[in-house]
Amino acid sequence: MPIDPTKHADWEVAEAAEKNMKTVYELAEEMGLDKKELLPHGHYVAKLDYKAILERLKDRPDGKYIDVTAITPTPLGEGKSTTTIGLLQGMGKRGKHVMAAIRQPSGGPTMNIKGSAAGGGLSQCIPLTPFSLGLTGDINAIMNAHNLAMVAMTARMQHEFNYNDEQLAKRKLKRLDMNPRNVQMGWIMDFCAQALRKMVIGIGGKMDGFMMESKFDIAVSSEVMAILSVATDLKDFRERMGKIVVAYNKQGNPVTTEDLEVAGAMTAWMAGAINPNLMQSIEGQPVLVHAGPFANIAIGQSSIIADRVGLKLSDYHITESGFGADIGYEKFWNLKCRYSGIKPDATVIVATIRALKCHGGAPVPVPGRPIPAEYGEENVEWVEKGCENLIHHINTVRKSGATPVVCINAFYTDTKAEIETVRKMVEAAGARVAVSEHWLKGGDGALELADAVLDACDEESNFKFLYDLDVTQRHRIEMIAEDVYGADGVEFSSEALQKLKAIEADPELGKFGTCMVKTHLSLSDNPALKGVPKGWKLFVRDVLIFRGAGFVVPVAGDIKLMPGTSSDPAYRRIDVDVETGKVKGLF
């Protein structure tokens, strides 16, 4: 019997469930995998040979495709991963052949505030410890690949500074003439390290590197992670890796990883990481884990490869998009689906009473501090007001032509009156709604949600993109801001405008997808504005170019690509039992 999640921490629930885990060999047999398609990493985690699976099943029709997104979350999240696992378990209880794909957690939030993103309560992905602490090394491979490009760039700058053209020629190097004031990349690490957002490197003598300003971003914001998310196979991955721009030369032309002759070595670090990881839910259904989080500063999607594998191996495949529908689902809609050619049959929008109260006027929760007492008290007025944000996201999903299903991710502190308020308002807006108690009851608590999603999958989808690729990047930004965020328009910094003009003059860049960077805590670019803000304009301060991923990346507001660690981070409560070697305190 599973233990009571109201009386035990998530890591304790996971530890109890892990005593009855299936081995990856048992999972593989249930999934119908050939032995050669399973690449074990111990008894309970494996990689899957995506190429062999897709080749063997190339003539098998795809299953139904379901995306999970959310309303604008509180700083503590809305439970998308928990709901994804809960829905997987609920559909399994209904006898469906179902799989899910979730994103690998970053060490930044795992060791900081938000936790490991394995789900929660009785709807978790297990085993928890490897999931939370590096898994099979994908993010480590991304860090090595990305930072190798930085090593190649900084070493070349040093050598070009110290040697003349004849000396470079003897070393079979040509002068790339990179401009140290126009470097595109920085270093990455998988922690929240605000002290490294801006720094000077190369301090010392001429053999200690070229002195210049540099920076660290968090690992999952790397273009290498973006490429892992959207690549369709290893050949596509290798071609994209060679297009990554590390810097611009003094004439303003891009210098790529291919120019630095490092793209092949970078791909070598990633050759194993391109295979998705296999884990399981607490109730034993297969879960694929691949690519990374943070749809506010990255694409924030589980990978195309994982989804293609899941769609071939199951009748229903559930995938996950980061944060709210304004950023996570918008990128799923206009980027991931465009790159993959796969269209969703249903989209689940996760909402909690807690977040609806936050959007309706309750005190905003502060990460690392106790949740205000008002969240444990009934307040139908706050919930009703907060539903404006939920309905906004319903309308966003509808604009894509997909069928929305609202999941009320229930907490045992929610009241009947609060839940009924949400149900009535969603039904009045013409959308399906289900209450799900998967956190408390696992698959048995998600049966109403499973039924609603199965029903929605039978409805014909009219999926369409928000914009065509012949629309200018500037106009796309305006369309996303106005039609998805609800802005009254867009204001561009002079630097952003200058970059957009150059992008629009380049036929190749004009066809790139548009991957917005914006706070996840508001529909606007101001995280303090809750609900559905009115009378505001999106401020775009910068525009980045990810040539390998094929993205133009507008950066809105004051958001940073390296988060900060709080004064009360999670690592203070994580430890190891020295007798058993088991990790405790993860959540």
pLDDT-derived band at 145 (thresholds 50, 70, 90) equals very high
Task: Give the rounded percent of residues in the chain with a pLDDT score beyond 90.
Answer: 85
Residues 227 and 296 in one domain: no
CATH code of the domain containing 124: 3.40.50.300
Q: Looking at residues 172-180, what average pLDDT do you find?
A: 94
Helices (H), 259-369: 263-270, 304-313, 330-331, 337-340, 353-360
Closest CA to 275 of 293, 262, 289: 289
Q: Give pLDDT, residue 322.
A: 84
Amino acid letter for position 412? Y
Task: Say whether 465 is catalytic.
Answer: no
> Catalytic: which of 69, 72, 74, 82?
82
Same domain for 363 and 406? yes
CA atoms of 37 and 155, how far apart (whole Å):
40
Choose the weakest-confidence range: 38-42, 204-208, 231-235, 355-359: 204-208
Q: Is residue 502 one of the residues assigned to a domain?
A: yes
Mean pLDDT value of segment 60-82: 92
CA distance 113 to 134: 17
Is 114 catalytic? The answer is: yes
Other CB atoms within 10 Å distance of the CB of residue 11: 23
Identify the CA nearest to 359 among candidates 67, 75, 68, 69. 75
How high is the mean pLDDT of the chain? Answer: 94
Residue type, 106: S
Look up the CATH number of the domain holding residue 507: 3.10.410.10
pLDDT 10s digits, 324-337: 999 999 999 999 99
> What span, in angstroms and rounded, lies between the C-alpha atoms of 243 and 225?
14
Any idea which of 224-238, 363-377, 382-396, 480-494 has the lowest mean pLDDT? Answer: 363-377
**Angle separating helix axes 263-270 and 138-162, nearest 10 degrees:** 160
Q: What is the mean pLDDT of residues 205-233?
A: 94
**Looking only at Cα atoms, what is the longest distance across the chain?**
80
Q: pLDDT: is 297 or 310 the higher one?
A: 310
pLDDT at res. 392: 98
Last residue of a domain, one of 270, 299, 325: 270
Strand partners, 199: 214
**What is the rounded distance in angstroms from the CA atom of residue 222 to the CA atom of residue 203?**
25
pLDDT score for 218? 95
Token pair recorded at residue 290:
């691949």
Phi, psi of 511 (to 5 degrees): -95, -5
What's residue 115's pLDDT? Answer: 74
Structure confidence at residue 244 (pLDDT): 98
Inside any domain, residue 579 = no
pLDDT bin (cut points 50, 70, 90) of residue 369 is confident
Contact status, residue 221 vs residue 263, Cβ threshold 8 Å? no
Q: Which two tokens stand for residue 132?
A: 């939370």
User: Can you tell me the distance from the alpha carbon of 353 to that of 418, in angstroms, rounded to the nearest whole number?
Assistant: 7
Query: Amino acid identity of 519?
Result: T
Q: Catalytic one among 295, 351, 355, 556?
A: 295
pLDDT at 189: 96
DSSP secondary structure, 23-56, as one string: PHHHHHHHHT--GGGEEESSSS-EEE-HHHHHHH
Which residue type does 221 have? S
CA 51 from chain center: how many Å? 23
Contact 511, 335 (CB under 8 A): no
pLDDT tens, residue by residue, 245-281: 999 999 999 999 999 999 999 999 999 999 999 999 9
Residue 102 Cα distances to 88, 199, 288, 341, 426, angstroms:
11, 34, 6, 19, 26
> Is residue 46 annotated as part of the catalytic site, yes or no?
no
Alpha helices in 480-567 (DSSP H): 494-504, 507-510
C-alpha distance from residue 413 to each of 253, 276, 353, 421, 423 (Å): 58, 37, 9, 15, 17
> If pLDDT is split at 50, 70 and 90, which confidence band does 517 have?
very high
85 and 132 housed in the same domain: yes
> Of the residues 187, 216, 323, 332, which is catalytic?
323
Q: Per-residue confidence at 51, pLDDT binned at 50, 70, 90?
A: very high
* 568 located within any domain: no
Nearest alpha carbon to residue 350 among 14, 30, 584, 123? 123
The one catalytic residue in 96, 114, 156, 541 is 114
Mark whether 365 and 413 lie in a shared domain.
Answer: yes
Q: Which tokens in the block code for residue 581? A: 């070697």
| Active-site residue, from 47, 64, 96, 103 | 103
With a pLDDT cut of 70, the percent of the chain lying above it is: 100
Is the domain of 133 the same as that of 193? no
Q: Which of 213-227, 357-371, 534-548 has the lowest mean pLDDT?
A: 357-371
Residue 212, domain member (yes or no)? yes
559 or 551, greater pLDDT: 551
Nearest Cα to 553, choosing from 299, 378, 323?
299
In a shared domain, residues 241 and 294: no
Residue 522, domain member (yes or no): yes
Residue 215 a catalytic site member: no
Q: Which is catalytic among the residues 210, 439, 492, 587? A: 439
Indicate the SS3 state at residue 318.
strand
- Assigned token pair, 391: 């309905």
397 & 440 share domain: yes
291 neighbors 339 (Cβ within 8 angstroms)? no
Do 360 and 499 lie in one domain? The reply is no
Q: Are residues 295 and 383 in the same domain?
A: yes
Confidence band for 412, pLDDT divided at 50, 70 and 90:
confident
What string of H, E and C letters represents the secondary structure of 393-414? HHHHHHHCCCCEEEEEECCCCC
Query: By the 8 A CB rule, do 439 and 118 touch?
Result: no
Q: Would residue 343 count as lying in a domain?
A: yes
Same domain, 323 and 442: yes
Task: Check 399, 411, 560, 565 and give the catalytic one.
Answer: 411
Tokens of 320: 């996950």
The reply to whether 131 and 257 lie within a common domain is: no
SS3 98: strand
Peptide bond into 527 cis (omega under 30): no
Q: What are phi and psi of 67, to 5 degrees?
A: -105, 145
Q: Is the pLDDT of residue 186 over 80?
A: yes
Domain of residue 340: give its range: 10-137+273-457
Residue 93 has pLDDT above 90, yes or no: yes
Please compute the mean of the pLDDT values over residues 138-164 and round it to a whole number.
Answer: 96
CA angle 535, 537, 542 (to 5 degrees): 165
Is the per-residue pLDDT at 114 higher than 90? no
What's residue 144's pLDDT? Answer: 98
Cβ(112)–Cβ(563) under 8 Å?
yes
Pick 78 or 399 by higher pLDDT: 399
**Whole-angstrom distance, CA of residue 289 vs CA of residue 302:** 7
Among 270, 292, 314, the domain-final residue is 270
What is the model's pLDDT at position 1? Answer: 63
Number of H-type helices and E-type strands within the chain: 22, 25
Q: Looking at residue 75, what is its pLDDT?
A: 79
| Same domain flag for 331 and 287 | yes
Tokens representing 482 are 């106005």
Q: Is 323 a catalytic residue?
A: yes
**62 φψ region: left (φ > 0), alpha (ψ -120 to 50), beta (else):** beta
Among the options 64, 80, 476, 530, which is catalytic? 80
Residue 101 pLDDT exceeds 90:
yes
Look at residues 270, 295, 319 and tell me which one is the last residue of a structural domain. Answer: 270
Q: Is residue 405 domain-resident?
A: yes
Average pLDDT (128-155) is: 96
* CA pair distance 257, 149, nearest whole angstrom: 7
**Count of domains for the chain:** 3
**Pairwise CA distance, residues 153 & 179, whole Å:** 11
Over 90: is that where the pLDDT of 486 sits? Answer: yes
**Amino acid at position 217, single letter:** D
Of 276, 294, 201, 287, nearest to 559 by C-alpha is 294
What CATH number is attached to the domain comprising 201?
3.30.1510.10
Residue 15 · residue 128 · CB < 8 Å = yes
Q: For residue 521, give Cα distances in angstroms to 48, 74, 529, 537.
A: 35, 6, 8, 16
411 is catalytic: yes
In a domain, 204, yes or no: yes
**Token digits for 303?**
């990978």
